[in-house]
Every structure is written in structure tokens, then in C-alpha cells.
Amino acid sequence: MDRRWAIRFAVLLEAPTNPEDVRDIEAVVRGFEASGYVLDQPLATTLFLLLRLGKPLLIEGHAGVGKTEVAKALASFLAVELIRLQCYEGLDVNTAVYEWNYQKQLLAIKIHEKMEEEEIFSPKFLLERPLLRAIRAESVSPVLLIDEIDRADEAFEAFLLELLSDFQITIPELGTMCARHRPHVILTSNRTRELSDALKRRCLYHWIDYPDFEKELEIVRVRARGVKPELSAQTVGFVQQIRGLDLSKPPGVAETLDCIHSLEALGKTRLDAAGAEATLGCIAKSVDDATKIRSEGIERILSRAAP
């Protein structure tokens, strides 16, 4: 935890890393490691391309494999601001791009009896929402995270398309604003619906799969410092076995970390059947899944997970 705070603090002080200075893929891997994100070579290559080519990146993958974390780590690596837009059904331009500050406008109209329309629709009454903020960044390119784009409606997706190709936003009352510093855009999707071809065409694509045993152990080592290696290895092995069980919601890395933290809180130093039963709620997120794991036999799964 201390380390992560140190990084946050360093972000405030450090001069931002210029994407041009990222010479090779190894530099990306090292930079991400310093931000607490374990990066494999393929994803590092993709991120390198994102910085080099300035194209948006679409990340897909199961829940809890760290899609959102990529954007956070990228922002901390570059030491720039992370602007996040969480998508949901019914998200519209007014919540994503800009909104006029009506209350303030009304007040102003009341106070100054005679007001020209240009004054009412001037920048001082404008509320910036994430996308506009990303476009209007003053000094460096921020990281723009558009999270769970598959939840937004098609209409919004079409709007986004325009934004991602020109990096400009038009406000009818003010005119067109162009990005002085193009944001690094990362989109994530849980594939609840197919995205339009046009959007996919504009993006680099990366699928993040569940990590293998070694990589997951490495992630746990970096993210849950000070946990006994034996406990980590056992839990990771256990979760890896459970992923093979064909559950309706297989546990992601986030669940592994939850489980390890819970075991620690319970004062366990190694994973036994009682501990696994007690923390089953961290791993199985529905009654059916929990029943399935129990009927498979926690003891059996544990013994299979043992190296």
C-alpha cells in the first residue's frame, strides 16, 4: 500500500513521461511494473503501439481480469491525468460531453436584466463532462478510459466514433473545439453486445485472458505485498482449478486477491478446507456456483491444486 501511495505522490511531482521517449517494448513493461501492473509481452506490444500510433485501444476480456486497471496503470506510467467515463444504458451527450449550468444561467438572467444570448452561452456557464475535459487538456495528453462501452446505446457509440476519428467536439453555441493534445484512449467491453464494425475498425484490439498460474502468482506478489508465499501459491492454484469447473461466473484475478485478503484477515497462513469454505463467498458469486464447487468437493479441488 505504501508503495502505491508513493507512486501516486510521485505522479504529482514527476514530469509526465513523453510517449516519444518510450523507446521500446521493454520500457513499457518496466514502467507498468513500477505502477504495480504485471504486463506480458503481447499486451506490452499493444500498448507500445497505442503510444506510437496514437490509435484507441479496445480491450475485451472476462470480468475481473484487469481491463480497467490497464488504463489506470498507463496513466500512472505516463504520469498524466486519468479521465474516466463509465458507460451505462441511456448515457447521453449531456452527461458524457458537456452540459450548460442552468441554475447559474437562470441566476445570471435574473441579476442582469438584459443579457445577450452569447453571454448566457459562454464558457463560464459550461460544465465539462469527461469527454470534453479530455479534449480540452491544456498541457499533455491525458489517458481517457471509456469503461464498458457495450453498455451504452448504439447512438452514443456512433457519436463516439466521430470523436475518436477527429478528436473534436462541436458545441452548437460555442463552435468546434479541437484537441490540442490527443488523449490516449482505452475502451473496455464485456461483450454483452457486439460493437459496431466501424468502431472496432478504428481501434487496436486486445483480448485479456485469465492469467496462467505463474503470471497470476506474480500479480498477487505485486498487488498483495507481505502475504506468505505459500498462502498465495495455494490460493492461486485453488482458483485456477475452480476456473476449470464451468461456473456461470468464473472468478477473476480480483476475486483471487479478495480471497487472499480475506484469508489473511482470518489469520490463516495456509489454505485448508475450512479456510476455503469460509472464503467461498469471495470466489463463487451465485448459489449455483457455490453448490457446484461444494459438490465437486473442496478437499478434492485443493488436492488437485497442490503442486
* Residues that bind other proteins in the complex, under the rule CB under 8 A: 23-26, 41-42, 44-46, 48-49, 52-53, 55, 57-58, 60, 89-90, 94, 99-100, 102, 105-106, 109-110, 113, 115, 117, 120, 153-154, 190-194, 197, 200-207, 246, 248, 288
Q: Which is nearer to other proteins, 120 or 273 (CB)?
A: 120
| Grid coordinates belonging to 243 | 476456473
Q: Is 59 helix (H, G, I), strand (E, B) or coil?
A: strand
E strand residue ranges, the chain = 57-61, 82-86, 98-100, 126-128, 143-147, 168-171, 175-178, 184-189, 204-208
Q: Which is nearer to other proteins, 94 or 303 (CB)?
A: 94
> How big is the chain by its Cα radius of gyration, in Å?
23
C-alpha to C-alpha distance for 67 and 113, rounded to whole angstroms: 52
* CB of 52 vs other proteins, minimal distance in Å: 4
C-alpha to C-alpha distance for 82 and 91, rounded to whole angstroms: 20
* CB of 49 vs other proteins, minimal distance in Å: 5
* CB of 102 vs other proteins, minimal distance in Å: 5
* CB of 184 vs other proteins, minimal distance in Å: 15
Q: Which is nearer to other proteins, 60 or 69 (CB)?
A: 60
Amino acid at 192: T
Q: Which is nearer to other proteins, 153 or 272 (CB)?
A: 153
Residue 196: other Cβ atoms inside 10 A: 13
Q: Which is nearer to other proteins, 105 or 262 (CB)?
A: 105
Give the angle 198-202-207 at the CA atoms, nearest 5°: 100
* CB of 125 vs other proteins, minimal distance in Å: 10
